[in-house]
Amino acid sequence: MTFLYSSSRTLRTLLLAGVAIVALSACASNRISSPSPDYSGMSAGQSHASLGELAARYKSNPRDKANVINYAAALRAVGQANQAVSVLEVGMTNQPGDVDISVAYAKALTADGRFDQALAVLDNVIRPDVPDWNALLVKGATLDQLGRNGEARQLYAQALTIAPGEASIEANIGLSYAMTNELGSAEQHLRRAVQMRGASSQVRQNLALIVGLQGRFDECRALYAAELPPEQVDNNMNYVRALLTQQNRWDKIPKG
């Protein structure tokens, strides 16, 4: 994790990272989502290695839809949201009207802080008669980052009716509650998420963060240790304590 972020900004970043990236099957009315890999939960070394591999694939065939989406996702994972936007803008030109690329583009725009533009893209994608669950999820993440948490949760609830059992939806609900400091509800949804199909390492690390923010450090460390090398576990534990200091939450932690 990156130090010196405010807790609010951190949770917003995690929220966006946790969103399922795209569904790559064909029919919008009945498609079964198959999210592309989540690069956000990797170590820095792994993220940059994946980025190099995906960059090479993209350069070899920049018109390939999977190459475009995965390369852009890897760019976002290493903090290069603006470049991800540029990659997806080329993809939008090459494949105008493609829903998956449009949703990925909106996600990159949100990561780059261009919220209104992202919402406009999503509103053009979401059909009231056959709404796409992943588009709803990305729109919810964007609204959460604007502080419109109630509206975001309504979209997540709608997405759950379309794709029940999707880990990314429950995970985003959990982080949405974390952003409003409702950590008990956040933990409840994240614990559901880690038991569902498609639960990524990032989702499990997000659960560790929320557990840590409630002062349960041993449990938090154990959750991180199942996902990360020891040095990164130590860094993340220091980060959790730094967040608690920023939030002045130490006095609210139950004492044993």
CATH number where 173 lies: 1.25.40.10
As a whole number of angstroms, the distance between CA 185 and CA 153 comes to 13
Q: Long-range contacts: 119-126, Cβ < 8 Å, 24+?
A: 119/143, 125/99
Contact 51, 75 (CB under 8 A): yes
Q: Where are the alpha helices (DSSP H) in the chain?
A: 7-17, 44-60, 65-77, 81-94, 99-111, 115-125, 133-145, 149-162, 167-179, 183-194, 201-213, 217-225, 230-247
Residue span of the structural domain in which 111 resides: 7-250
Model confidence pLDDT, tens digit, residues 135-184: 999 999 999 999 999 999 999 999 999 999 999 999 999 999 999 999 99
Does 1 reside within a domain? Answer: no
Does 14 reside within a domain? Answer: yes
Does 2 reside within a domain? Answer: no
Angle at 20 between CA 15 and CA 24, to 5 degrees: 160
Structural domain total, the chain: 1
Model confidence pLDDT, tens digit, residues 27-73: 233 333 334 456 765 666 676 678 889 999 999 999 999 999 999 99
Q: Output the pTM of the full model.
A: 0.81
Q: Which of 141, 175, 170, 138 is nearest to 157 (CA)?
A: 170
